[in-house]
Amino acid sequence: MSWFHTREVHFPQDYNGFIHIYTDGACRDNGRDNATAGIGVFIDDDHPENVSKAIPTSRQTNIAAEMLAVLEAVSIVRKYNLCNVIIYTDSEFIVKGVTEWMPDWIRRGWRTSSGHRPQYVNEFKTLDAAMKKWYIRLEYVQGHSGIYGNEMADRLARKAVQ
């Protein structure tokens, strides 16, 4: 393991030179009017760019929180001009959206096969642009399966909705 240094902030890298960022979203009372959602972004223990915060949007849902957590990780990538980043999420919706559905949406002018705008289209467009500019891979990781980074991101997200 090595470290990538930028602006006096250090990002651990694996042996292939990739920086790993874990993201998660949480929503208390998901689907209800009084729902409260938050995000967690985990880079390393006590890292200054770890994030735990409530989401400032009217979309207080688990999917919105998951998406905003990934976008928060992208903002960290932008802030430090990082390359070779793997962003992990336990949202299959986001990973399938980016890896399977988005190429067809783009080909159809950001429309689904039924002609509708995809859910979270603006967020997917932001992800698409970021993944092209910086080398970012988005990968699915099974939630609540003991993967340390994911467990820590989950803890940060749940802390945000307390």
Where residue 6 falls among pLDDT bands split at 50, 70, 90? low
List alpha helices for 81-120, DSSP H. Answer: 92-96, 102-107
> 154: which 2 tokens?
């989950």
Specify the pairing of strand 19-28 against strand 36-42.
antiparallel
Identify the pLDDT of residue 73: 96
Identify the pLDDT of residue 151: 96
> 74: which 2 tokens?
């992208």
| Mean local confidence (pLDDT), 6-14 | 81
Q: What is the pLDDT of residues 30-65, one digit of tens each?
A: 878 888 899 999 999 999 999 999 987 667 888 889
List alpha helices for the chain, DSSP H. Answer: 62-80, 92-96, 102-107, 121-133, 148-160
For the question of whether the overall pTM of this predicted structure is more than 0.75, the answer is yes
> 11: which 2 tokens?
């990002």
Identify the pLDDT of residue 132: 81
